[in-house]
Structure 1
Amino acid sequence: MSKYVEIGYPIYEGMPVYPGLPEVKLEPRERLDKGDAWNGSVLSMYLHVGTHVDAPWHHLNNGKGIDAVPIEEFIYRNASGI
């Protein structure tokens, strides 16, 4: 039986970011209570906010993009293969 562990964290305004990077901003835009046809917001964030994986390209000039890294490389298997 496989066991998966969720390692993702929610993204929210005011969440911790790496020092010097822009903070996450959530800006309300359209609002039903103000007469708009829907509720809508704009989310602004640096691409390395929250849970993520750095592709080799991030640190190497000729590294692969994340789309070239097989998903199997992200599955942890202990010594017994589980």
Structure 2
Amino acid sequence: DSHLQKLRRHIGYVLQTGALFPNMTIEQNASIQLDNLGWDPAKKHQRIVELMTKVNLDPDQFLSRMPNELSGGEAQRVGIVRA
């Protein structure tokens, strides 16, 4: 059913551990789904900054970090942004 397929494109989930890719920056991890949806880079960056702010992670401090530099709670919040 095409309606169900469209709906599924707007549903994400967050794993308990955050499940971030260790070889990618936080911004790259957060942008995976937006890349799959074909967002242009400027719009994608703007959306990631907006979502990082909503989960109380300062984009200026976190986007260039690697997952191993985050606490467990920070990694979970990045997982929420990615979802």
- TM-score when scaled to structure 1? 0.21
- More helix, by proportion: 2
- More strand, by proportion: 1
Q: RCO higher in 1 or 2 (8 Å CA, sep ≥ 6)?
A: 2
- TM-score when scaled to structure 2? 0.21
Higher CA-based Rg: 1
